[in-house]
């Protein structure tokens, strides 16, 4: 009986620890203009307004809350640069 209680306690503790690492990032979405410049104002609607279907023209890019977005898409990992993005959306063809 004590062994069963020990197994249950260990399993419960293990399962509860998984939730601590499963935190969702707070993202800020910024418009990518046709010339590649990234807007300095975030717009939460861009995630749903711009499709996720990959085309050749970016519509929006996401960065973790608290980070400063670069001024141009070419500075990001999506555009060949080094600044990491947390999501992209594209313009309809």
pLDDT of 83 reads 95
Q: Where are the beta strands (DSSP E) in the chain?
A: 27-32, 38-42, 58-64, 87-90
pLDDT of 92 reads 83
For the chain, first and last CA: distance in Å? 65
Residue 19 has pLDDT above 50, yes or no: no
**High-pLDDT (> 90) share of the chain, %:** 63
Helix extents (H) in the chain: 2-18, 46-49
Position 23 confidence tier, pLDDT thresholds 50, 70, 90: low
pLDDT tens for each residue of 24-46: 679 999 999 999 999 999 999 99
User: Do residues 55 and 92 make contact, with C-beta atoms less than 8 angstroms apart?
Assistant: yes
Residue 72 has pLDDT above 90, yes or no: yes
Can you say how many angstroms the Cα of residue 66 is from the centroid of all Cα atoms in its chain? 13
**High-pLDDT (> 70) share of the chain, %:** 74
């Amino acid at each position: 009986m004590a062994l069963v209680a020990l197994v249950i306690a260990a399993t419960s503790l293990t399962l509860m620890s998984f939730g601590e690492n499963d935190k969702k990032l707070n993202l800020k979405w910024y418009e990518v203009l046709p010339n590649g410049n990234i807007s300095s104002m975030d717009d939460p609607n861009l995630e749903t307004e711009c499709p996720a279907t990959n085309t050749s023209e970016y519509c929006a890019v996401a960065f973790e809350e608290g980070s400063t977005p670069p001024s141009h898409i070419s500075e990001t990992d999506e555009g060949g640069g080094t600044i990491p993005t947390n999501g992209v959306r594209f313009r309809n063809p």
